[in-house]
A and B are shown apart, each in its own frame.
Chain A
């Protein structure tokens, strides 16, 4: 346990927004769900000491995500969650759950471990499948956050309708997640303005870096009234990565937005803990950019790379075809489907040539 003497609730200035750190959940995609207990403990201690209020942890695809389709966790997520709960002093621990992948059983288990916040995630047009899970989170005494993924695939008005459903189930806040990192800043502004205007509960934004806009989009979201923002240490996350928390904190300070987190401490965590465990740098390379360009779910990146190698086809072609097919988050099996079809097409072309 790390003592954080400088942040006692009694003396703290109210924060302009709440930062939720997802290094241990979204970041899990970038290391193919290989987190170890000691890494979790170090990250939680570092973030907690830097003043982060909520730390999310789970398999990248949420509770119960460990699978052939999404990759098996190296360590049982319940063990990692328990370690995170034990390592935190002030920060609350959050979990993400996608109905259809995880179930209410996992929600009960993590509540018993001491998790206080449940984020219930769903494709941005299917909010009605979250009703039971949001209600259960409330019954268990947790904060419940509705999380609308792939927000580029719905209009501002459509998103508001979905967010209102979540609000009606009892959600304490609603997020829109740019899971494909496909939204431009103007598109983020339009969506946030519509939702902030129409909801009674606070709005959050979860940004990705595929178009190099994660920090800019998060600041724009704040300016339009979003009061929860997501990020990860060093941007560790699906696709080209998430909004890097240390950069967001630095930009906020320069803009006079009080985040309540210490940019210098977050820089230390990013440099000394997160970067050393990365297996690849979080950069906007061709594949990362293609995700944002074609509007493809960020966590498909590494799965598409493996399928491309396995079947001798181009990762870029796989991602573009997935975009054309309008696949949604969770359909990782379609990567193999597309790779096999591309390989078949190549073979046929060779025969006719």
Chain B
């Protein structure tokens, strides 16, 4: 018997997450909660035998003992309201919106650090893809004065939430590169590409390497991190070998002689969203990982 959980938000992310939780031994999906009775996500949830209410957060309030953890795939604005209900009922919130009420979690870096919190935030798709590599460089050198990520996603996979609030993506991601990746200064860039057929999600990490950095250690650490992330995001891979390029580079963190360039690609699992939507897949895969960690933690402490 796994930890009873629900998903709130029956759009692309919520529905994709449903398929992933279905395969988990540690989580028992009880309900997929929406607000639109005609949504495809709710129809699919019903067909697979889950509760599929369309009264939103009210369902959680009316069934206070039904679930211990809720994945919130709605929006930042709505999540802030949901969080009040979660807090009152003692339910753990795993936040897939940019609300960022709780601490940010990047599973391959700080999964175990926040299992005592009642709300955690999943950053952004680009943050999930690139923060691990910034951390990988950081742990191999003394200090990382500046790191930058460039994320390109297919136009088709960027929903209205991302489009109307693109600054939130760049700010939240840059903060994650600093707080969790370990860069003194972080910068994030996002590009939408409308090519047909849609491109797979691409991410590039540039990291400033100060004088005296051990380049072989950086490369080795990057390969190790690729394996660690691919454990729970099977389509996560280095598109090309990581390279060290010679500068000098006049970064905002100071002049450095070299930079590391890590070229990544994320192919989605194709659960609900097509494989090109690696950006959404990495969010749901990371959220599942976090949910399972909470479940394992609760079992131990119970």
| Residue pair A68, B249 in contact (C-beta under 8 Å) | yes
What CA separation (Å) do A336 and B193 show in the bound complex?
Answer: 18
Residues of A within 8 A of B189 (CB): 67, 69, 100-101, 330
Decide: B165 and A132 in contact? CB cutoff 8 A. Answer: yes
Does B30 reach chain A (CB closer than 8 Å)? no
Pick from B163, B208, B241: contact of A340, CB under 8 Å: B241
* Interface contact A331-B193, CB-CB below 8 Å: yes
> What residue of chain B has the Cβ atom nearest to residue A306's Cβ?
B245
Q: In the bound complex, what is the Cα–Cα distance between A122 and B164 (angstroms)?
A: 13
Q: Judge if B150 is at the interface, Cβ distance under 8 Å.
A: yes
Whether a CB of chain A sits under 8 angstroms from the CB of B171 is yes
Can you list 14 A-B pairs with a CB-CB distance of less than 8 A?
Answer: A66-B252, A67-B148, A67-B187, A68-B208, A69-B189, A72-B252, A123-B191, A125-B194, A126-B155, A131-B164, A330-B152, A330-B191, A340-B243, A341-B240
Report the separation of the CA atoms of residues A203 and B251 in the bound assembly, to the nearest whole angstrom: 38
Report the count of interface residues on B (CB-CB < 8 A): 37
Given contacts A72-B250, A325-B195, 16 further A-B contacts (CB under 8 A): A68-B249, A100-B192, A105-B167, A125-B194, A153-B194, A326-B195, A328-B192, A328-B195, A331-B152, A331-B193, A332-B150, A333-B202, A333-B261, A333-B263, A336-B240, A336-B245
Pair A100/B194 contact, Cβ less than 8 Å: no
B15 within 8 A of A: no
Number of A-B contacts (CB under 8 A): 107
Is B259 part of the binding interface, using a Cβ–Cβ cutoff of 8 Å? yes
Does B204 belong to the interface (CB within 8 Å)?
yes
* Residues of A contacting B187 in the complex (Cβ-Cβ under 8 angstroms): 67
B141 surroundings in chain A (CB, below 8 A): none
**In the complex, A74→B251 CA distance in Å?**
10
Residue in contact with A123 in the complex, picked from B194, B206, B251, B263, CB distance below 8 Å: B194
- List B contacts of A340 (CB < 8 A): 240-241, 243, 263
Per-residue contact bits, chain B 164-197, to A (CB 8 Å; 1 contact, 0 not): 1111011100000000000000010111111100
Residue A337, interface by CB 8 Å: yes
Q: Nearest Cβ in chain A — how far from B166, in angstroms?
A: 5
Interface of B with A (CB < 8 Å)? 148, 150, 152, 155, 160, 163-167, 169-171, 187, 189-195, 202, 204, 206, 208, 239-241, 243, 245, 249-252, 259, 261, 263
User: Which residue of A has the minimal Cβ distance to B250?
Assistant: A72
Nearest chain A residue, comparing its CB with the CB of B204: A333
A331 to B165, CA, bound (A): 20
- Bound CA span A99–B190, Å: 8
B265 vs chain A, min Cβ distance (A): 9
Known: A74-B250, A330-B189. Is A337-B263 also a contact (CB below 8 A)? yes
When distances are taken between beta carbons in the complex, the residues of chain A under 8 Å from B251 are 68, 72
Q: A68-B148, A68-B249, A340-B241 known; A123 and B167 CB under 8 Å?
A: no
A336 with B167, Cβ < 8 A, contacts A72-B251, A100-B192 known: no
Check B150 against A333 for contact (C-beta < 8 Å): yes
Contacts known (A68-B251, A333-B150); A129 close to B192, Cβ less than 8 A? yes
Given A326-B195, A331-B152, are A100 and B245 also a contact pair (CB < 8 Å)? Answer: no
* A331 in contact with B249 given A99-B167, A100-B166 (CB within 8 Å): no
Question: Which residues of chain A in 155-183 are interfacial with respect to chain B, using CB atoms and an 8 Å cutoff?
Answer: none
Min distance, Cβ B237 to any Cβ of chain A, angstroms: 13
A199 is an interface residue with CB less than 8 A from chain B = no
Chain A residues closer than 8 Å to B155, beta-carbon distance: 125-126
Q: Scoring A residues 276 to 306 as 1 if CB is less than 8 Å from chain B, else 0, what string do you get?
A: 0000000000000000000000000000000
